[in-house]
Structure 1
Amino acid sequence: MKAHSISRREFLKNLGIAGSGVILAASPWLSAFSEVTQTNNEKCRLAIIGPGSRGRFLMNFLIQNPKVKIVALCDIYRASIEAALKLAPNAKVYGDYHEVLEDRSVDAILVATPLSSHCQIVIDAFDAGKHVFCEKSIGFTMEECFRMYNKYLSSGKIFFTGQQRLFDPRYIKTMEMIHAGTFGEINAIHTFWNRNGDWRRPVPSPHLERLINWRLYRDFSKGLMTELACHQLQIGSWALRKLPERVMGHGAITYWKDGREVYDNVSCIYVFDDGVKMTFDSVISNKFYGLEEQIMGHLGTVEPEKGRYYFENIPPAPGFLQMVNEWENKLFDSLPFAGTSWAPETANSNKGELILGERPKTDGTSLLLEAFVEAVITGKQPPRIAEEGYYASMLCLLGHQAMEEEKTLRFPDEYKINYLNHQSKSTGTL
């Protein structure tokens, strides 16, 4: 994806939501922008730990922000450092992140290293008094995520995670509509993310295989669940404003039998307390259906990635099609196994309506990073953003564990953070 930033003003205008109170009700983390005009003369001095492909993608947004100064780069792979220096030529270079944390010119760090290294870097950063942006999933295990969240609470520092959909105008508008009852009672959420490719990156030397292709190996990654599901599972808790109670699933390597250790296809079912289910499926040997979240209520369906919504009651089919349907129903109406339920549905002719007037220019990444910068400069943590990242990580890790153990697992009570417990007692929601 090309790095394309949009202004905060353009972002809020595109939402088309009347009144800031409505916006903040669905997305309270947008309060990070409340004092943006008061920080024009200040800068966030940032270090990038792990300027690989993802780290440099984020840097492309950051260098467009006049409030950001990238002062340090840290990586053990020289090729990544050299590529990153083209974006931030004046940054100091480190090979050990501990040296970055000792650098008093660094206000905050951005962590885009292999998943297995996130926890220790983040905890050490908080201990060093640094603000943190950590790519998802935040931790390699549920226990690590819990430790990281508690360290954030005790540090008093800013903590953001790479959940860019929280700042995507399509998703913010979608949640406002869902919570307003536009689509009725939500009774199912289907999410999927399909690709067709081996997920490998070029390796200049065999001894660098696990360093560069860490996503394919169990010592460093949980594969599709932590790399992809982490985004989409967060949509379910955002829409329903509660957590699923249990999860079951299955994963396998069925196509890319090339020495990888993580699954190339996964399926999980998350079950909420009222029986509503959220599914996640991912296949990386067929991209036809791409990615989407299909959020279904009894009045309508919304597909935020596509940027469209559909109501159940649509205009009648064209006269000719309606006549054919009626004729076929009469022909087969005596068959007990069919009745009218088999008749061609008109849903596939429903083109739906656009959530916004046009497709946004970014997926929310630029606004997520801008909000982090504002939070660092003001020293104010926006409500719920750390918690959304925490639970997204926990849900994908619980799903992975359910696949590994081939069991139905419940969300552990010991990992339900106080934030959620407080909200649940007072409102029954997140």
Structure 2
Amino acid sequence: MNRRNFIKNGTMGTGALLFSGGVWSGLANTGNDRVYRIGIIGFGDRGSGLFNVLKDFKAKFRVIAICDPLDLRIDNARKMADTDKVKIYRDHRKLLENKAVDAVIIATPLNTHYEIAKNSLEAGKHVLLEKAMTFTVDQALSLSKIAENHSKQTLQIGHQYRYSPLYYKVRKMIQDGYLGKVTQIDARWDRNWNWRRPVPDPRLERKINWRMYREYSGGLPAELLSHQMDFIHWAFDCLPTTVYGTGGIDNYNDGRETYDNVQVNVRYEKEGMIGNFGATCSNQHDGYSFRIKGSRGMVSLLVDDGIFYPEPETRKELEEVDGVSGATKITWNDDKKGIPLVDSPLKDGSYYAFEDFYAAISENTLPDSNVYTGGSTAICVALANTSIYGGNPQQWKTAYNLASDHKDKATVDSPSRKQKAREEEK
């Protein structure tokens, strides 16, 4: 983008860059007043958490069934739900036989995602499947074909940052050239915690702490870093070329099998970018951090906040725009000369994801996080783990390009209805 167009398109001041979290209501009105009946499969931390989020959607969704094989989670479900209105199951296949259930949320261990999603689609249910979409590359390829054979059903994948108004804003900034030529992505998700859940009975160790064991889990890349990988794929409409990872059990020698310290390097050859995705369980200082670095500026993101740091020449141009056009004065972050991107609190990303789930079901359209995009990210995670545990770089194959024939469906080329709704409200 040349200087004149940069200034023209960036009559930025705060008006174009600052997102007011309290303004946008989510999606354009679907014109549908139907309440969809939900079954939740898996009632651990995530499943029970989504149950609570759904309390804000009483006019759109009603939970009528909960399934979990563990007694302690069944007990928790009975405490949280009105069992006169919510039926409890231990076998997901029995829940899927319930004709009253319109859609299911799958929040189970990663190694079960494929089978339960397949069963759910074949039972005629709409599906919100938690990330990562599948455990293996072959499962991702297979589930995409199964979903195509059930085109009247929605399959949404739980990469909720695709629905955050803030992340939409950053994606638009990237597309409009505010960051210039992006070459580096530095993403971390760190904590100083062993990642374990309490186990009331030693026999339940692998069922409760399934994230610790390679039979069930994709570890830190799947559970944490997949979100940031997925955003990069979305924001730049790109896929990896080479994936290389390393890691180890470097602190918690407690019988776990998945690594507590990982680093994944992803090369995007066509875009001329390098993505660095790392996580440790031994230091919380950086926490969630996500920096996208371009020749004109950098965006630094948290889960629900962000700052744009223009490069010196870009900063001069922005200040010149203010002085010449009379645009709203740029609000700078005092310490590092950054422009805040959010001026009021945002809702949890799952809230926005549920809005899109409702619209996608009602309109029979692909959600922004769908089987093609979610499958691509699941493949990237699987390749990362193959490299982490095997030691060799992994090459992306053309067979992995799930969305290549579905660009119009997968919302990678044009703004979605949510993006348009935002722009109309400005």
**TM-score of the pair, normalised by structure 2:** 0.81
Structure 2 partner of 1:309: 308
- Asked if the contact 2:376/2:400 (under 8 Å) is kept, the reply is no
CA distance in 2, matches of 1:416, 1:257: 38
Equivalent residue number for residue 402 of structure 1:
387
> What displacement does 1:34 show?
3.5
Corresponding residue SS for 2:371: helix
Residue 139 of structure 2 aligns to a residue in which SS? helix
One-letter amino acid of the structure 2 residue matched with residue 77 of structure 1: L
1:194 equivalenced with 2:190 (yes/no): yes
Structure 1 residues not aligned, in runs of 5+? 1-11, 21-29, 317-346
Which residue of 2 is the match for residue 75 of structure 1? Answer: 68
Counterpart of 2:222 in structure 1: which amino acid? Answer: T
1:358 to 312, 328, 344: 344
Which amino acid counterpart does residue 373 of structure 1 have in structure 2? Y
| Number of aligned positions between the proteins | 370
Q: Is the 8 A contact 1:15 1:169 kept in 2?
A: no
**Mapping for residues 82-97 of structure 1, pairs under 5 Å:** 82-89=75-82, 90-97=85-92
Alignment correspondent of 1:65? 57
User: Residue 334 of structure 1 aligns with which residue?
Assistant: none
Q: Give the match's secondary structure for 1:133.
A: strand
Aligned pair partner of 1:52 in 28, 44, 64: 44
Q: Provide the C-alpha distance between the structure 2 equivalents of 1:408 and 1:241, rounded to a whole number of angstroms.
A: 22
Separation (CA, whole Å) in 1 of partners of 2:341 and 2:23: 10
CA distance in 1, matches of 2:126, 2:20: 30
SS of 1:234's equivalent? helix
Aligned-partner residue type, residue 375 of structure 1: A
CA displacement, residues 32-60 of structure 1 (integer Å, 9 cap, x when unaligned): x3443x222x1111100001111011111
Alpha-carbon distance change, 106 to 423 in structure 1, aligned in 2, over 3 angstroms: closer
Query: Contact 1:223 / 1:263 at 8 angstroms: preserved in 2?
Result: yes
1:256 aligns with 2:252: yes
Kindly state the Cα deviation for residue 13 of structure 1 after the two structures are TM-superposed. Answer: 6.2
Matched residue, 1:158: 154
Are the counterparts in 2 of residues 247 and 271 from structure 1 also a CA contact under 8 Å? yes
Distance across 1 between alignment mates of 2:398 and 2:123: 30
Matched-pair identity in %: 32
Higher Cα Rg, which structure: 1
CA contact (8 A) 2:158 2:369 kept: no
- Counterpart of 1:120 in structure 2: which amino acid? E
- 8 Å Cα contact 2:267/2:274 also seen in 1: yes
Q: Which region of structure 1 is more displaced relative to structure 2, 286-295 or 305-314? A: 305-314
CA deviation digits over 1:140-177, x for unaligned, max 9? 11111111121111112101111110111211111111
Q: Secondary structure in 2 aligned to 1:86? A: helix
Distance in 1 between residues matched to 2:393 and 2:91, nearest whole Å: 41
- Alignment match of 1:282 (pick from 267, 279, 282): 279
Q: Find 1:375's aligned residue among 336, 342, 360.
A: 360
**Which residues of structure 2 form unaligned runs of 5+?**
1-18, 317-332, 415-426
- Alignment check: 8 A CA contact 2:22 2:344 kept: no
Q: 2:292, 2:136 → 1: CA distance?
A: 28
Instruction: Return the alpha-carbon distance in structure 2 between the equivalents of residues 428 and 152 of structure 1.
Output: 18
Q: CA deviation at 1:72?
A: 0.7
* Structure 1 match to 2:266: 270
Calculate the aligned-residue CA RMSD, in Å: 2.5
Cα deviation for residue 269 of structure 1 reads 0.7
Equivalent in 173, 176, 180 of residue 180 of structure 1: 176
Any idea what SS the aligned residue of 1:137 has?
coil
| Structure 1 segments (4+ residues) deviating >4 Å | 421-424, 427-430
For residue 376 of structure 2, the aligned residue among 391, 396, 419 is: 391
Question: 2:86, 2:406 → 1: CA distance?
Answer: 43
**Compared CA separation, residues 222 and 420, structure 1 to 2 (3 A):** same
CA contact (8 A) 1:269 1:279 kept: yes
Say if 1:160 and 1:225 are closer, same or farther in 2 by CA, change over 3 A: same
Match of 1:228 in 2: 224
CA distance in 1, matches of 2:65, 2:286: 40
Is the partner of 1:39 in helix, strand or coil?
coil
8 Å contact 1:242–1:429 — kept in the other structure? Answer: no
1:298-337 equivalence runs, <5 A? 298-305=295-302, 306-313=305-312
- 1:102 to partner: Cα distance: 0.9
Q: Write the letter of the residue equivalent to 2:241.
A: E
Residue 147 of structure 1 is aligned with which of 139, 142, 146? 142
Q: Secondary structure at the match of 1:47?
A: strand
